[in-house]
Structure 1
Amino acid sequence: MTKQIPPSGFLSELITRNASKLTGSDTRLLDVLIQDPIRAVLENGTEVSSRAGVHPASAIRLARRLGFDGYPEFRAFLKANLVEGDADFENPAARMAARLVRAEEGQVLSSVIDSEITALEALRNTVADADIRRFSQTLRDSRKIFVLGRGHAASLSSLISLRLQRSGYDAIDLGERMHQFAETINTMSSDDTVWMLAFRRPVQMVQDVNRIAAERGAKRLALTDVHAARFDPPPLHHISAARGEAGESQSLVVPMTIANAVILDLAGIDDGRSIRSLKDYKAFRQTLPAQWRR
């Protein structure tokens, strides 16, 4: 007997193709699988059926209706989708589950390190020095720099603003001005630059600031991962870099490395402004009470 070739594609595609065959028990099983993806790839068919409250053989029947020889093949398909795919399980819990699936028992730290190294090596081949220079030249020639990132990008926004301030630039982290957001944005002019950060997708606030900045003629820079590359209108300069594949750690080191490169390059082209400001800041900080230096 010829072995059946297992289906390919995403789980959502399999469900759509076989919707007419699915029963009420199948629907309950699929709900359980999708709601807890890491257990879906670790449990056997009997365990999954028990959690769904259906007959122990129901998971096997579901697998066969979807085109698999049995539940082990279906579970292998789910694991591949979770680890390698980017359309199924599109939620934070599932992304965490994918990373745990990829990490072997007791090897979580090594798995994260490997993911970071892979993402950084890819960065070397996707972002050029010319991209960095376009960012740094734009910042150098700006009267004021507005920086905005929300979610995980907010921490990087705060760090960028701090470093630019210490380098002698009038930089504002918009995320820290929420109580005076409108007042702060209202000072924006065509002499200014907005540096936007977005991971996975630009939130509405970032899109709104992009629109306002464009209307006022301010220069716009965007640093994003590949999932958040859509801006309307497009920014003046845009660096987009993968932070890791599905099932890998979604690196914050990658965008931080790009930001560090931009600020370092800026110090090399601003006629000593950054260096002088850093020296002045260090000297001033030493005059402050000890508790202020923390």
Structure 2
Amino acid sequence: MNTKPQLPGFLGAVLSQSGARLTEADVRLIDVLLQDPLRAAMENGKDVSSRAGLHPAAAVRLAQRLGFAGYPEFRAFLQSNLVEGTGDFESGSARIAARLIRASESSALSLVLDSEIAALQQLRAAVTDDGIRTFAKAIRGGRRVFVLGRSHAATLAALIAMRLRRSGYDAVDLSAVTHQMSEHLVPLSAGDVVWLLAFRRPSPVVLEVLRLARRRGATVLALTDVGGTRLDPAPDHLIAASRGGPGDSQSLVVPMTIANAVILDLAAIDDGKSFKALEDFRAFRNELPAMIGR
């Protein structure tokens, strides 16, 4: 008696709808598919059958039993689920593979440009001037600004903290001091601002800092994906914007644009503080080579 393998939702649904009964060869093929679903979505039926140690036509027969015209149609189904980011395909490598599938229809550069442009066009309607001003006011009134993001968001956190420091604000990039984070957070209190960046899912570190900021009475700003996991407890102010749909490039330009808008708006409302600090920084930087020479 054959035991059916554990199927991800989209394959299980197809199996239920087709009413197909799996043969021993089918079980072996599905096991191969599940061991490396990304590879399966890119290979032809002959290659999949070969990896399962079966006749070249075995994958075609499985596809037909599941209601597809042949393996190319079944593979297109797998690729569609890959692009939509469902089931076993919701992973970083799956997202890259999905982009490669789309790129096969055009150049990789065109694919990324189209994704970025579409995400930025959505941003205009998704984020309001009031939301940008709320972030800027919180930073203007804060004593210190602690910025934190993990993974790709750490790159943006570094840029935000650097630009705030150059604008005359006491900003700490917590992403760059992971091992000394406790020391930097000791003075965190009411009057301080914590700016969190959480793309897709917030890391445990981000959630811990959020909870600490809440206990200490600091103002919490959060910049997140539209579809990301909700932050708990909720931040004081939230801007959520899509970085692209499933299979798109998951733009860093979108959150960077929002951050740039906040820092620009900050310069418009802080009574010249940003302008003076930027001029002072420029003058100091011009003197620095001579100072080092001495």
Say yes or no: TM over 0.5: yes
Per the alignment, residue 169 of structure 2 pairs with: 169
Paired with 2:123 and 2:29, the residues of 1 have a C-alpha distance of 40
Does the C-alpha gap of structure 1 residues 193 and 74 become closer, same or farther in structure 2, counting only changes over 3 Å? same
Paired with 1:244 and 1:11, the residues of 2 have a C-alpha distance of 26
Question: Does residue 257 of structure 1 match 2:271?
Answer: no
1:212-258: per-residue Cα shift (whole Å, max 9, x none)? 11111111111111232411101011111111111111111111111
Per the alignment, residue 99 of structure 1 pairs with: 99
Paired with 1:241 and 1:16, the residues of 2 have a C-alpha distance of 37
Worse-matched range after superposition: 160-169 or 96-105: 96-105
Q: Is the 8 A contact 1:11 1:88 kept in 2?
A: no
Question: After the TM superposition, which residues 1-294 of structure 1 pair with which residues of structure 2 at under 5 Å, given as runs?
Answer: 10-11=10-11, 13-14=13-14, 21-104=21-104, 107-289=107-289
TM-fit CA distance, 1:196: 0.5
Structure 1's unaligned 5+ residue stretches are 1-8
* Partner amino acid, structure 2, of 1:128: T
Q: Is the 8 A contact 1:86 1:246 kept in 2?
A: no
TM-fit CA distance, 1:187: 1.1
Q: Is the 8 A contact 1:11 1:81 kept in 2?
A: no
Identity %: 60
* Partner amino acid, structure 2, of 1:84: E
Structure 2's unaligned 5+ residue stretches are 1-8
Paired with 2:12 and 2:287, the residues of 1 have a C-alpha distance of 62
SS at match of 1:116: helix
SS at match of 2:89: coil
Paired with 1:29 and 1:95, the residues of 2 have a C-alpha distance of 24
SS at match of 1:205: helix
Does the C-alpha gap of structure 1 residues 25 and 123 become closer, same or farther in structure 2, counting only changes over 3 Å? farther
Does the C-alpha gap of structure 1 residues 83 and 282 become closer, same or farther in structure 2, counting only changes over 3 Å? same
Worse-matched range after superposition: 148-157 or 9-18: 9-18
Paired with 1:19 and 1:172, the residues of 2 have a C-alpha distance of 59
TM-fit CA distance, 1:16: 6.8
1:46-70: per-residue Cα shift (whole Å, max 9, x none)? 2221123223222123223433232
Paired with 1:209 and 1:17, the residues of 2 have a C-alpha distance of 47
Paired with 1:113 and 1:163, the residues of 2 have a C-alpha distance of 26
The alignment's TM-score, normalised by the length of structure 2, stands at 0.89
Aligned length: 284
Does the C-alpha gap of structure 1 residues 238 and 13 become closer, same or farther in structure 2, counting only changes over 3 Å? farther
TM-fit CA distance, 1:72: 2.3
The alignment's TM-score, normalised by the length of structure 1, stands at 0.89
Paired with 2:291 and 2:154, the residues of 1 have a C-alpha distance of 26
Paired with 1:83 and 1:260, the residues of 2 have a C-alpha distance of 30
